[in-house]
Amino acid sequence: MTSIADHTVTRSKSSFKLSMLLNDTRYRSFTFQFIALIAIIAFMAFVGGNLVRNLAEAGLNISFQFLKDPAGYDINQKLIEYNSQMSHGRAALVGLLNTLIVAFLACITATVFGVVAGVLRLSNNWLVSKIMSFYVEIFRNVPVLIWILIIFSVMINALPAPRDFRGDEASASMVLFDTIAITNRGVFVPSPEFTNSLSVAEQDVAEDGSIVPAKGWQDFALIFGVLFLSWIAAKLIGSWATRTQEATGSRPTTWYILLAVWVVPLVAVLAFLGLTWDVPALKGFNFQGGLQLRGSLIALWFALAIYTGAFIAENVRAGILAISKGQTEAAAALGLRPRRIMGLVILPQALRVIIPPLISQYLNITKNSSLAIAVGYMDVTGTLGGITLLQTGRAIETILLLMLFYLTVSLLISALMNVFNNRMKLTER
């Protein structure tokens, strides 16, 4: 008698036939996916070919040579060296970095605001809970553009002008040991300088022949490299402590080793580079020296942070409520205090619920940063998609580059957060 298993083995060893692409469930889904992929490629090829053909008939061609032409306009907030005689490509790079820095700062600040507001909204204190509820409802139900304009207007009208810092009868003064000036033109903070910079070729020479401290990217690359090596060393020390705990039952004390691993190399490299600080000082009609954070950057930064923080607060609240109340009761039965319960028991488990919607909020921050033009902050939309587009008339090329930039940044954010989300998932055994 032939068993069912024998029939299965015989069927699996049978030769492949084309009809199996549709009739066999093992191949049918791949067949439909392949057909859909071919259809999409054909459609995109048709659209692209039609676009190129119409442009050629109109005497136009897609070219990115305009990126090499002189830009002819200034940018008020910049992280790298730039002047109006540099190319449109350089101007686009400055705008791109401006977008990245405001998006990064807003993501960090919005996360802090959101976590704090989400936790406090569940507080047993009635007043604190209602204040957080008021914050969430007010900020998430008003468009972010209005908050950008409100914060920018407050900074211009409420903060002192640089002339208010002058003289014995000054009505305003610098803060933090006279190192930071908060004005209606922005915030002036000390900036790092390196007397032994690795970027000797980029250093300026003063009139007396002395070398002016430079701000080369090589110096910061060295610092970040040292911090990265310290992070690897800290991970190795943590793994060693975990293995020791598993073998002996007691975890060795490593805080002083970790402190040395982080502090000693950083102090050594800063001493090697000759770190000094350029402190802003009032000269003429404005502050000179240091690093200027313009009001447009601060307004955009905080508006995006407090607006998105209200949405993150709701995600945090939902994540906490998703955790069983028995977790809190069990931790309390072990003698843990409420703050320790929230930090050690509830939030780590709630992250599995919080992270997926948090990715969307980070993407919204990156895309909403394109509203920077409303307050004159020159991001990539204002440079490449604004002035460069108007000067060159290359609408298709600039829009394609903008789409590529935002698509790339969004995919990178999603990929990084998904990696973190996968590490936080429960592992099934």
Q: What's the mean pLDDT in 196-209? A: 55
Contact criterion met (CB below 8 Å) for 351 and 423 = no
Q: What's the mean pLDDT in 364-386? A: 91
The shares of helix, strand and coil residues in the chain, as percent rounded to the nearest 5, are 65, 10, 25
Rounded to whole angstroms, the Cα distance separating 219 from 270 reads 9
Whether residue 45 is predicted with pLDDT greater than 50 in this model: the reply is: yes
20 lies in some domain: no
Domain boundary among 235, 257, 275: 275
Q: Are residues 175 and 300 in the same domain?
A: yes
Q: What is the pLDDT of residues 399-420, one digit of tens each?
A: 989 999 999 999 999 888 888 8
Q: Are residues 127 and 177 in the same domain?
A: yes
Q: Name the DSSP letter for residue 87.
A: B
Q: Are residues 243 and 117 in the same domain?
A: no
Rounded to whole angstroms, the Cα distance separating 392 from 384 reads 10
Rounded to whole angstroms, the Cα distance separating 257 from 263 reads 10
Q: Are residues 141 and 233 in the same domain?
A: no
Contacts for 294 with CB less than 8 Å, ≥ 6 apart: 76, 77, 185, 186, 377
Mean pLDDT across the chain: 85
CA atoms within 13 Å, Cβ hemisphere of 342: 13
Position 202 scores a pLDDT of 45
For residue 161 the two structure tokens come to 């002008």
Q: Are residues 108 and 173 in the same domain?
A: yes
30 lies in some domain: no
Rounded to whole angstroms, the Cα distance separating 128 from 94 reads 42
200: confidence class by pLDDT, cuts 50, 70, 90 = low
Contacts for 393 with CB less than 8 Å, ≥ 6 apart: none
Beta bridge partners of 286: 283
Whether residue 205 is predicted with pLDDT greater than 50 in this model: the reply is: no
Please give the residue that has the higher pLDDT: either 84 or 197. Answer: 84
Q: Are residues 301 and 350 in the same domain?
A: yes
Position 111 scores a pLDDT of 94
Whether residue 379 is predicted with pLDDT greater than 60 in this model: the reply is: yes
Whether residue 428 is predicted with pLDDT greater than 80 in this model: the reply is: no
Q: Are residues 125 and 104 in the same domain?
A: yes
Whether residue 348 is predicted with pLDDT greater than 60 in this model: the reply is: yes
Domain boundary among 233, 260, 275: 275
Burial (CB < 10 A; 0-12, 13-18, 19+), residue 204, is exposed
Q: Are residues 348 and 425 in the same domain?
A: yes
Q: What percent of the chain has pLDDT over 70?
A: 91
Q: Is the pTM of this model over 0.75?
A: yes
**In 10 A of CB 425, how many CB atoms?**
10
Q: Are residues 121 and 203 in the same domain?
A: no
For residue 29 the two structure tokens come to 């889904």
Q: Are residues 285 and 358 in the same domain?
A: yes
Q: Name the DSSP letter for residue 68.
A: G
Position 201 scores a pLDDT of 46
For residue 239 the two structure tokens come to 């793994």
Rounded to whole angstroms, the Cα distance separating 213 from 275 reads 10
Using DSSP's 3-state secondary structure scheme, residue 249 falls into: coil
Q: What is the pLDDT of residues 141-165, one digit of tens each?
A: 999 999 999 999 999 999 999 888 8
Q: Are residues 378 and 236 in the same domain?
A: no
46 lies in some domain: no
H-type alpha helices, 121-216: 126-140, 144-158
15 lies in some domain: no
Whether residue 2 is predicted with pLDDT greater than 70 in this model: the reply is: no
Position 14 scores a pLDDT of 59
Highest-confidence segment of 1-15, 16-30, 46-60, 299-313:
299-313
Q: What is the pLDDT of residues 62-107, one digit of tens each?
A: 788 889 999 989 888 888 888 889 999 999 999 999 999 999 999 9
241 lies in some domain: yes
Tokens 């002395």 sit on residue: 210
29 lies in some domain: no
Whether residue 217 is predicted with pLDDT greater than 60 in this model: the reply is: yes
Domain boundary among 275, 293, 326: 275
Position 3 scores a pLDDT of 54
Domains contained in the chain, number: 2
H-type alpha helices, 249-323: 255-273, 295-321
Please give the residue that has the higher pLDDT: either 24 or 246. Answer: 246
**In 10 A of CB 277, how many CB atoms?**
12
Position 371 scores a pLDDT of 92
Q: Which domain holds residue 179?
A: 62-190+279-429
CA-based angle 211:217:222, to the nearest 5?
A: 100
Q: What is the pLDDT of residues 319-339, one digit of tens each?
A: 999 888 888 888 888 888 888
Whether residue 306 is predicted with pLDDT greater than 90 in this model: the reply is: yes
Burial (CB < 10 A; 0-12, 13-18, 19+), residue 324, is exposed
31 lies in some domain: no
Rounded to whole angstroms, the Cα distance separating 130 from 308 reads 19
Contacts for 342 with CB less than 8 Å, ≥ 6 apart: 119
Q: What is the CATH number of the domain that holds 369?
A: 1.10.3720.10
Q: Are residues 85 and 121 in the same domain?
A: yes
By DSSP bridging, strand 281-283 and strand 275-278 are unpaired
For residue 165 the two structure tokens come to 């810092």
Position 427 scores a pLDDT of 55
Position 209 scores a pLDDT of 42
424 lies in some domain: yes
Position 178 scores a pLDDT of 86
Whether residue 283 is predicted with pLDDT greater than 90 in this model: the reply is: no
Whether residue 38 is predicted with pLDDT greater than 90 in this model: the reply is: yes
